[in-house]
Amino acid sequence: MNDVKQFENRNSRMIKKMSNDKSLNNLSKKLISDSSKYEYSYHFKWLGLPIIQLPQDVLVMQELIWKIKPDVIIETGIARGGSLIFYASMLKLLGTTGFVIGVDIDIRSHNKKTLERHPFYNRIKLIQGSSIDTKTIQNVKKLIKNKKKILVVLDSNHSHDHVLQELNLYAPFVKKGSYVVVFDSIVQDMPSSFVKKRPWGIDNNPKTAIWEFLKTNQRFKIDKDIENKLLITYAPDGYLKCIK
């Protein structure tokens, strides 16, 4: 067996073992929960703009983008734009003509201006509106016409009903081999104090929406290998691989 294969096999064995280590996995949840008191996920930037993610998830998104080489990445919920710049810069690195669609109900004018001045803005198309509005979906459809490989990231309103609607509306754009990534499913695994002054919480969040969606949709499967290796993620059960 060559060295590369041996390395991969060893990694797989270790990741599997790690996923069965209950005390380590509890420690991970405690880390996510306790650090959220200090708004840990707000503290990072990508090429100058805030990206509200755990660094671990960002690294794995890079792996997915390299693997899928998407023509278009659609993100619902863009906040301060760092994630859009991250996706745009990855697509530029791929050397393709890929672009990013960012959908947000509230694109604040200062965030929009900063985005527009950014060197990677030429790969970004913004849509202001709710991600589940008919008009928004029509605009998205126009932009992705004739595009084959679409990667979808859902990170907007995290309530069960909203995410379930997003899954039903955006998952059809994704074809075999690509993914829908649903962020903030971690809410289900956190103490109720994790979410403050939001309409979502335990039993009403992206994870419960994913579970509901998968009851009737056989095209997608939770990619457990990703979260097992991540150990620390905001998207447990949220890396959905399109398998047919």
Interacting residues with ligand SAM (CB under 6 A): 51-53, 75-79, 82-83, 103-106, 130-131, 155-157
Residue nearest to ligand SAM (CB): 77
Return the number of the residue (159 or 208) whose C-beta is nearest ligand SAM: 159
Return the number of the residue (95 or 137) whose C-beta is nearest ligand SAM: 137
Q: How far is the CB of 228 from ligand SAM (least distance, A)?
A: 22
* Three-state secondary-structure class, residue 103: strand
Q: How far is the CB of 206 from ligand SAM (least distance, A)?
A: 11
Q: How far is the CB of 137 from ligand SAM (least distance, A)?
A: 11
Return the number of the residue (181 or 226) whose C-beta is nearest ligand SAM: 181
Return the number of the residue (125 or 221) whose C-beta is nearest ligand SAM: 125
How would DSSP label each residue in 119-136? Answer: TTGGGEEEEES-TTSHHH
Return the number of the residue (18 or 105) whose C-beta is nearest ligand SAM: 105
Q: How far is the CB of 122 from ligand SAM (least distance, A)?
A: 20
| Residues contacting 75, CB < 8 A, separation 6+ | 83, 84, 87, 100, 101, 102, 103, 152, 153, 155
User: Tokens 């994704």 label which residue?
Assistant: 174
Instruction: Tell me the β-bridge partners of 180.
Output: 152, 240
Cα–Cα distance, 60 to 95 (Å, whole number): 19
- Residue among 109, 88, 106, 85 nearest 97 (CA): 88
Q: What's the half-sphere exposure (Cβ side, CA atoms, 13 Å) at 57?
A: 24
User: Tokens 């335990």 label which residue?
Assistant: 202
Return the number of the residue (82 or 201) whose C-beta is nearest ligand SAM: 82
User: Is the Cβ–Cβ distance between 79 and 149 less than 8 Å?
Assistant: no
Return the number of the residue (8 or 106) whose C-beta is nearest ligand SAM: 106
Q: How far is the CB of 11 from ligand SAM (least distance, A)?
A: 27
Q: How far is the CB of 42 from ligand SAM (least distance, A)?
A: 9
As to burial, measured by CB atoms within 10 angstroms (0-12 exposed, 13-18 middle, 19+ buried), residue 167 is buried
Q: How far is the CB of 89 from ligand SAM (least distance, A)?
A: 14
User: Tokens 């990703």 label which residue?
Assistant: 226
Cα–Cα distance, 66 to 86 (Å, whole number): 13
